[in-house]
Amino acid sequence: MFDLEKEWSISFAGCGFMGIYYVGVSSCILERFPGFIQNATRIYGASAGSLMAAILTLGRKTSPEKEARKHKLGPLHPAYNLLQLVQDCLLGSLPEDAHIRASGRLCVSLTRVSDGRNLLVSQFSSREDLIQALICSCFVPLYCGVIPPTYKGVHYVDGAVSDNLPRCDQGNTITISPYAGESDLCPRATTLTFHEVRFNNVSIQVNSENLYRVTSTFFPPDPEAMAEICQNGYMDALRFLQENSKNILFACP
């Protein structure tokens, strides 16, 4: 249970197309307790989690999974350029002062190619600077291309490679993940769990449900399944708020 009398932050794990889970999570929280997001000191994110962190910081949205489903090979189809779609969405939706509004509050996880070290970026000199940081955080080697993008002249790849749940070890950082595990807000396992693994700070239980979620991370499921994942995110967030009701005042319908 987190303490609202202290400063708190939120951290979103990288999760590819499972990011639709975060749409349900954020919808529930913004509907029932918007102060949880609005008053958070910092919002961290890696990979797709960085996009949700940016969305909540700036109040914008981007959704490349619909385009991915148009091709039979999904995101592996040669006509599908995931990062180009993300970049186009960001360019078309982010306000000119996005970098000013994001600086100091949005924290984006990057992995430096030269030594594999993690970089957490929270200051952005321009809107293009912010967009490039998000693009670098989402670049999965080979899956998204061969040549990594650059941020301030340095090559970076997916932030999940070095830290997939930024600042998860800090007190009063609320961790959010679409995989059943030990994150503060995540699905609960309903099938037999054999083991638990940690992928760069993200707890993932080994079971059939999570196997499906990991597959959906790289290959977006059909619209009906996406809607269900989104609804699951909403219900998991509702449970999280109810379990923390001693610290949160919100109205139930």
Q: Do 231 and 24 form a contact (C-beta atoms < 8 A)? A: yes
Give the pLDDT of residue 51.
92
Mean pLDDT, residues 40-47 taken together: 96
Q: What is the DSSP letter of 187?
A: P
Per residue in 85-107, pLDDT (tens digit) is 777 778 777 889 999 999 999 99
Q: At what angle do helices 48-58 and 127-137 cross, to 10 degrees?
A: 150
Q: Do 144 and 138 form a contact (C-beta atoms < 8 A)? A: yes
Closest CA to 66 of 82, 55, 50: 82
Distances (CA, A) of 44 to 1, 14, 241, 246, 248: 19, 10, 20, 25, 22
CA 89 to chain centroid, in Å, comes to 16
Residues 6+ apart with CB under 8 A from 171: none
**Residue 243 phi/psi, 5° resolution?**
-70, -25
**Residue 174 phi/psi, 5° resolution?**
-85, 115
pTM equals 0.86
Q: What is the DSSP letter of 220?
A: -
Per residue in 184-226, pLDDT (tens digit) is 999 998 887 778 888 889 999 999 999 999 999 988 888 899 9
Of 163 and 251, the structure prediction assigns the larger pLDDT to 163
Domains along the chain with CATH numbers: 9-241 (3.40.1090)
Read off the tokens for 110: 């990057």
Confidence of residue 2 (pLDDT cuts 50, 70, 90): low
User: What is the distance between the alpha carbons of residues 82 and 16, in angstroms, rounded to a whole number?
Assistant: 11
Bridge-based pairing of strands 42-46 and 9-12 is parallel
Give the pLDDT of residue 56.
93
Residues 6+ apart with CB under 8 A from 48: 12, 14, 15, 16, 17, 18, 19, 22, 138
Catalytic residue numbers? 47, 158
Per residue in 113-138, pLDDT (tens digit) is 999 999 999 999 999 999 999 999 99
**Residue 88 phi/psi, 5° resolution?**
-60, -40
Mean pLDDT, residues 146-169 taken together: 94
